[in-house]
């Protein structure tokens, strides 16, 4: 009888230990901060957000005359310089916010290009200038020679 009670006690202790082990393995770990997203994953989102802000800041290029119309280079080519130009008006705004957004957007794109070892044709995109047409600043059309058509 002594042997069977000893075996019974050992079995119960083993079962209790196993139960403790199983329940501790199933317990949730303490909450922790979510892992930070890598910079490469957040760069497109940042560029997209900045681009939306740039579009909003340049969405109302109202003007009375050509002297109120200006351009700002946007984007960033891998070899340097802007990808294109947007018209903006100084009639109601000095353009400081727009220029700051454009600089931040270009910096994000340059960093992304550097991370991805991007290359480009290194062609220069000429500033077409802007003029007031129907009380809105618009980019001037490029002439046949590729130079801006400035009046």
Per-residue confidence in pLDDT tens, the chain, 151 aa: 454 555 444 555 455 554 444 444 444 444 443 444 444 557 788 889 999 999 999 999 999 999 999 999 999 988 889 999 999 999 998 999 999 999 999 999 999 989 988 887 888 899 999 999 999 999 999 754 444 433 3
Residue 143 confidence (pLDDT):
55
Q: Return the pLDDT at 78.
A: 84
Q: How far apart are CA 112 and CA 78, in angstroms?
A: 10
pTM of the model: 0.64
139 Cβ neighbours under 8 A, 6+ residues apart:
71, 85, 86, 87, 128, 129, 130
pLDDT of residue 80: 87
DSSP annotation of 91 reads S
* Pair 43, 115: CB distance under 8 Å: yes
Q: Which of 114, 49, 120, 61 is nearest to 86 (CA)?
A: 61
């Amino acid at each position: 009888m002594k042997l069977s009670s000893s075996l019974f006690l050992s079995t119960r202790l083993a079962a209790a230990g196993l139960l403790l082990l199983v329940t501790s393995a199933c317990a949730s770990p303490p909450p922790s901060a979510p892992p930070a997203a890598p910079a490469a994953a957040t760069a497109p989102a940042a560029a997209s957000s900045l681009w939306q802000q740039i579009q909003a800041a340049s969405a109302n290029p109202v003007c009375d005359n050509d002297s109120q119309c200006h351009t700002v280079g946007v984007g960033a080519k891998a070899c340097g310089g802007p990808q294109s130009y947007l018209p903006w008006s100084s009639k109601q705004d000095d353009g400081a916010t727009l220029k700051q957004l454009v600089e931040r957007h270009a910096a994000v794109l340059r960093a992304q290009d550097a991370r991805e070892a991007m290359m480009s044709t290194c062609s220069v995109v000429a500033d077409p200038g802007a003029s007031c047409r129907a009380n809105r600043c618009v980019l001037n059309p490029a002439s046949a020679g590729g130079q801006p058509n400035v009046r």
